[in-house]
Amino acid sequence: MRIPALLVALLVGAASLPARAETVAGIESAWRDWMARSGRTTGGLAVMHQGRLVHQAAMGAEAAGNAVPLASLSKAVTGVCVAGLVDRGRLAFDTPLSQALARTFARLGAPADPRMQGVTIGQLLVHRAGFDRADGGDPVTGRLATYLRTATATRPSFDEQMKWVLRGRLPLAPGERFAYTNATYLMLGAVIEEASGQDYESFCRNTTLAPLGVRGAALDPAWRILASYGGWRMPLGDYGRFYQAFAAGSAAIGPAARRWMMSPEGKQIGGGAHYGLGTMVRPTPGGGNFWHWGSWTYALDNAFDGHLNISYATFAVRLGALDVNMAVYMTPSRGDADATRIDLDNALGAAARAVTRWP
């Protein structure tokens, strides 16, 4: 069978063309596909590459670049802020609460469970302080409804929330196992205030966020009570800038704190991952992968602040080998199963690895 000369020329020319470059738009497409599969129509996306914001997108009522609440992505801000205090010699990862919160205990009363005195900064950071939501619920958020009927959510209220924690018992022995709670990061907020002599928001914004180029961060005016465990609000691009703290060459986390963060010893959560400075960690040759989910759904009629009704979720991931950070906001929160969350993580990761031409 003879092939026409023109067709031969076209085939030869096509073979000699370079493969089509995949761009960062593929990450947006992967995100939009996941949003559709999970039944969401409102949200935002930001992508950082080598420390630069290279792409933003939004759907529904959101606008790219708007500040959004972050829920538990706030824990990483607290974790890196604590690491800064360790690097400055004001704290150590093995400092017990009997020292780190001595003035707080003197003011509010000693913990009802004496074991809490010996809980260390490191154990708080990796959720191994002895709390367990499966046994009695979260000692912080479980008591919010009663409090918010007579008091505002617009103040951090560290002392009031600390009283709830100090009056309870520890279901587990400190260090026994990983059990995620908001109580640990509430206590770290109190530690930051005592060690720095400043309020939590100002200190972390000035010493942790501003040096990383984050300019639009503040505690959410309506939910400042969540403060160190869930209260930050900022544009997703700013969160991507903050997440660059976890890059191997970043000065935001000093050598000693970075070694502690990257070591899985006493921090394992399974699957080759461990918990570090407010975020999941999987060590890799490229400097490590980091990720965390956040969500906040709250409805309360006749609260002190009026009717409270909010629902959203957040996700951030850093792929060290690519030097890529991606942050996502979506509303409402759907209490996604692990499979749905893994689906988003995999989709974003595959799309980022496919990019051959970055802006």
Could you report the per-residue pLDDT of 35-73, keeping only the tens digit for each?
A: 999 999 999 999 999 999 999 999 999 999 999 999 999
pLDDT of 12 reads 36
Report which of 304, 278, 300, 294 is spatially closest to residue 160, judged by C-alpha positions. Answer: 304
> pLDDT category, 17, cuts 50, 70, 90?
very low
Torsion of CA 119, 125, 129, 135, to 10 degrees: 160
Q: Give domain status of residue 275, yes or no.
A: yes
Digit-coded pLDDT (tens) for 287-301: 999 999 999 999 999
Q: How many CB atoms lie within 10 A of CB 249?
A: 8
**Number of domains forming the structure of the chain:** 1
CATH of residue 50: 3.40.710.10
CB 70 within 8 A of CB 234: yes
Position 136 confidence tier, pLDDT thresholds 50, 70, 90: confident
Q: Label residue 1 by pLDDT band (50, 70, 90).
A: very low
Which pLDDT tens digit goes with each residue over 209-247? 999 999 999 999 999 999 999 999 999 999 999 999 999
pLDDT score for 320: 98
Say if residue 122's pLDDT is above 60: yes
Could you give the CA distance from residue 178 to residue 133 in angstroms, rounded to a whole number?
Answer: 11
pLDDT of residue 21: 61
Quick check: is 1 in a domain?
A: no
**Is residue 3 a part of any domain in this protein?**
no
- Residue 174's domain comprises 22-354
pLDDT in tens, 137-151: 999 999 999 999 999
Check: CB of residue 185 under 8 Å from CB of residue 228.
yes
**Mean per-residue pLDDT for 158-173?**
97
In a domain, 102, yes or no: yes
- 9 occurs within a structural domain: no
pLDDT value at position 336? 84
Q: Give the percent of the chain with pLDDT over 70.
A: 94
What rounded mean pLDDT belongs to the chain? 93
CA dihedral 34, 329, 258, 262 (to 10 degrees): -30
pLDDT band at 2 (very low <50, low <70, confident <90, very high): very low
Q: Going by C-beta distance under 8 Å and a sequence separation of 6 or more, which residues neighbour residue 51?
A: 241, 244, 247, 323
Query: How large a percentage of the chain has pLDDT more than 90?
Result: 91
Task: Please give the full DSSP string across 74-109, using - where no structure is assigned.
Answer: HHHHHHHHHHHHHHTTS--TT-BHHHHTHHHHHHH-
How far is the C-alpha of 192 from the C-alpha of 207, rounded, in Å? 12
DSSP assigned state of 37: H
Q: What is the pLDDT of residue 335?
A: 84
pLDDT at 286: 86
Residue 4 in domain: no
Q: State the distance between the two ends of the chain, measured CA to CA, in whole angstroms.
A: 46
The continuous run of DSSP H or E covering 275 comes out as strand 273-275
For residue 42, is it within any domain? Answer: yes
Residue 81 lies in a domain: yes
CA 359 to CA 356: how far, in whole Å?
Answer: 10
pLDDT of residue 119: 98
